[in-house]
Structure 1
């Protein structure tokens, strides 16, 4: 089958002993996306499905298991983008939706491109996405991490999740996050901003980013990587975008798929979990590389 899938589970620092859980999680998300492609689904739906699986996995900072903000509750951002027509949908500061990436897809299918807060919640109800108890998004592990952060203790740094997909015709990207542990209420990072944390363009490629969102937003990192593809190969394009983020003082990672299905990724953090599959095979890694 012609197609390519690349999934990431966030760039940062993973607690010792949790690496296997992260790799198993991104592998499940990859397999879910590939199943969509095998059934004849499009790149956008496959990318959304991959991220949905990660949102439902409490080992990742998205959906259930998201980090808690300064007031001790979850606020989530998500975005999806289809290369064809550059259609885009995003939500921010969502508190009562189980899968923000699904809500972002509904925004893409509407007359809007970005909805936030209470307005996004009302739109979710209109689109048939049921209200989800915000308390069900909080896991004991994240509550303990938040308590440690409030006491000034350190802890694992984990980021956004995302996926990029090529379906033999076009490319798409999807990204979702719970933000930064102990962040200000209402803080929004790069994930839902087109060209910052999420970007796809027909004929070029698609990117999903993870890291310190303010720096990725200032660098327009996702767009920068895609825009570099005509002049540079995919691996160099990823590194150039990350170098721009690093020059501004930030760190993180990117995953990319080109318009003909070549995959690449890199990161400037201690680790980033990825899983991929294309015509050549499948794999998982906690490091840098390309396929």
Structure 2
């Protein structure tokens, strides 16, 4: 890809939340829908923070809102595997004591980020997979909705296009995510996805992998990524960006450098959002679009 990496940054203040709706190439006539969906999710996260909730609570609520919106590739409406079903990946991490929870190859549940949060709170294991993830979810009281309830016509059309070799036209991208900082300084990040269209059964991308798709450390920053998961995994993109912020690089510059390195080193494209320990946020992408929104005490912003 020859397009330059685009990045932007600003300041949230005492607390705030930033979300993304996936790096990709959304059709121009649908871009306003993706921006508005991100705005709603960011506002949901901010409402939690205004009520005294933690950054972990905020990213959970923001990502849940994105999972419930069928225009995004997460939760209901996520993309389909080669077998025509939805397999979810999700993770969540908080930066104080580095607790994390994640699920991958999970079938039949509408909000995988909630199950990842349950894993974080349980604390015994970080990552649950496939049938084990479903069993853990059921033990924690989550009710499956079944495979069919998660499938939308748009997802079927994207799968058909991929099978025909014309690609997932207009698809939002590989994932959704959120990062947040609360009034106490706690940082958190969460990421959720259906993966890639027409993926092989059991394929797992970066989104549920701590350090690749999600990372948060109060001493440095919080990051959620989106894009080509195989490249993100090989370069541990989320952790790499956090380490750049630890070295006092600004959030947007840390992401710009990391996404550029992703493209130059392994030929992968994508994007990411971040908040650093001082409440500065940033985002970067090397794709045509990445819908995003930010909300904080005194304002909000959004784009694609």
In structure 1, distance between residues paired with 2:134 and 2:252: 38
Unaligned 5+ runs, structure 2:
1-12
1:183 is matched with 199
Match of 2:6 in 1: none
**Separation in 2 of the partners of 1:210 and 1:142?**
18
| Inter-partner Cα distance in structure 2 for 1:156 and 1:96 | 25
Distance 1:281 1:16 in 2: 26
For 1:93-146, what per-residue CA distance to the aligned partner results, in whole angstroms no more than 9, with x for missing partners? 011111000000011112110000000001101001111111010001111121
Contact in 1 for aligned 2:16/2:49 (Cα 8 Å): no
**1:132 pairs with one of 145, 151, 154:** 145
Whether contact under 8 Å (1:168, 1:260) holds in the other structure is no
The answer to whether the 8 A contact 1:221-1:244 is kept is: no
Equivalent of residue 144 in structure 1, options 147, 157, 164: 157
Aligned to 1:167: 182
User: How far, CA to CA, are the matches of 1:152 and 1:237 in structure 2?
Assistant: 35
**C-alpha displacement at 1:279, in angstroms?**
3.8
Q: Does the alignment pair 1:7 with 2:19?
A: yes
Moved more, 49-58 or 146-155: 146-155
CA–CA distance in 2 between the matches of 1:239 and 1:16? 24
Once residues 283 and 16 of structure 1 are traced to their aligned partners in structure 2, the CA distance between those partners, rounded to angstroms, is: 19
Task: Tell me the distance in 2 between the aligned counterparts of 1:279 and 1:143.
Answer: 40
RCO higher in 1 or 2 (8 Å CA, sep ≥ 6)? Answer: 2
What do residues 154-174 of structure 1 show as CA deviations (whole Å, max 9, x unaligned)? 223422000000002210000
Tell me what 1:153 maps to. Answer: 166
Is the contact made by 1:205 and 1:226 (CA closer than 8 Å) also made in structure 2? yes
Match of 1:96 in 2: 108
2:156, 2:208 → 1: CA distance?
A: 25
Question: Partner residue of 1:236?
Answer: 253
Note the aligned Cα RMSD (angstroms).
1.1
Instruction: Tell whether 2:55 aligns with 1:55.
Output: no
In the aligned structure 1, how far is the partner of 2:298 from the partner of 2:284?
20
Give TM-score, length-normalised by structure 1: 0.96
How far, CA to CA, are the matches of 1:116 and 1:75 in structure 2? 11
Distance, in Å, in 2 between the alignment partners of 1:10 and 1:115 is: 23
| Corresponding residue of 2:285 | 267
Structure 1 SS opposite 2:29? coil
Aligned to 2:8: none
Aligned to 2:237: 221
SS in structure 1 of the partner of residue 257 of structure 2: helix
How many aligned residue pairs are there? 286
Measured after TM superposition, the shift of residue 2 of structure 1 is 2.8
Moved more, 206-215 or 11-20: 11-20
Q: Quote the Cα distance in structure 2 between the aligned partners of 1:148 and 1:178.
A: 17
- Aligned to 1:41, the other structure's residue is in SS state coil
Alpha-carbon distance, 1:280 to partner: 4.5
Distance of 2:195 and 2:301 partners within structure 1: 27
Distance in 2 of aligned mates of 1:10 and 1:152: 22
Residue matched to 1:25: 37
Task: State the TM-score, normalized to the length of structure 2.
Answer: 0.92
Matched residue, 1:289 = none
**SS in structure 2 at match of 1:17:** helix
